[in-house]
Structure 1
């Protein structure tokens, strides 16, 4: 792989710790959600950070695919719902739902864009066959 960009982030204290990037841009406290046995402090957690990263990357892939097709996405958005739970072997497992809101699309073109973006997105490729990902096309935000 030819590296185009490298992000270096160090976390001290695990889920109830602090994460910083080597360039100082990322500098955040973490806390374990109550649902996972934490105090529920008002800090972010790894699942939220993964959701932000995945939804941003998938959105970029949607933009690239739409550009290839000459399609205007309008005021689109991608929402990632990241779930953590236990699998049949009682091991922690992630699952993700990606809701792609594309107000300018009909069902056929929207599904084509979402499916092609899934193939292009590096997060989708990195997690393929490792976690369940559900893709949803939203034509309105209700």
Structure 2
């Protein structure tokens, strides 16, 4: 029997797919959706994934840094790139996080990033499933 406990469940209702809307059960997320590259209002699933992975990853970095006795600067920044691809096997995703950790020794920053990539739930979810790169910039 697992000792895993659920800490939070996000509930989001989507209508209309990539050209519809998404609303969370608590109303904190209420957005229009639009296909990538369209000129209309709205975000797309790739942007939402990029935002979610980046935010989660920065939290994992903070935990990893704390375990090493390092305080991350407030200026830590992550630029995420999520690609929607199409090939012989249909649609797929590829993703990259470009992580900036100003003021932290690059060797230490890399250790923190590597630890975060091992522990971040998003990183775990995509491991082996999509092309994913995390880089210190």
With the length of structure 2 as denominator, give the TM-score of the two structures.
0.92
What is the aligned length? Answer: 133
Q: Which residue of 2 aligns with 1:134?
A: 133
How does 1:91-106 map onto structure 2 within 5 Å?
91-106=90-105
Post-superposition Cα deviations, 1:89-130, rounded to whole Å, max 9, x if no partner, equal: 2x1111111011100222211111110000010000011100
Q: Which residue of 1 aligns with 2:81?
A: 81
Q: Which residue of 2 aligns with 1:6?
A: 9
Partner of 1:78, secondary structure, is strand
Give the unaligned 5+ runs of structure 1.
Answer: none
Q: Which residue of 1 aligns with 2:117?
A: 118
Partner of 2:118, secondary structure, is helix
- On the 8 A contact 2:32/2:41 being kept in 1, the answer is no
Distance in 1, Cα, partners of 2:9 & 2:117: 22
Q: Which residue of 2 aligns with 1:26?
A: 29
Distance in 1, Cα, partners of 2:88 & 2:57: 29
Give structure 1 regions of 4+ aligned residues with deviation exceeding 4 angstroms. none
Distance in 1, Cα, partners of 2:124 & 2:87: 21
- Of stretches 120-129 and 74-83 in structure 1, the one that deviates more from structure 2 is 74-83
Give the unaligned 5+ runs of structure 2.
Answer: none
Q: Which residue of 2 aligns with 1:45?
A: 44
- On the 8 A contact 1:80/1:98 being kept in 2, the answer is yes
Distance in 1, Cα, partners of 2:71 & 2:26: 35
With the length of structure 1 as denominator, give the TM-score of the two structures.
0.89
Residue 16 (structure 1) aligned to one of 1, 11, 19: 19
Give the alignment's Cα RMSD to 1 decimal: 1.1
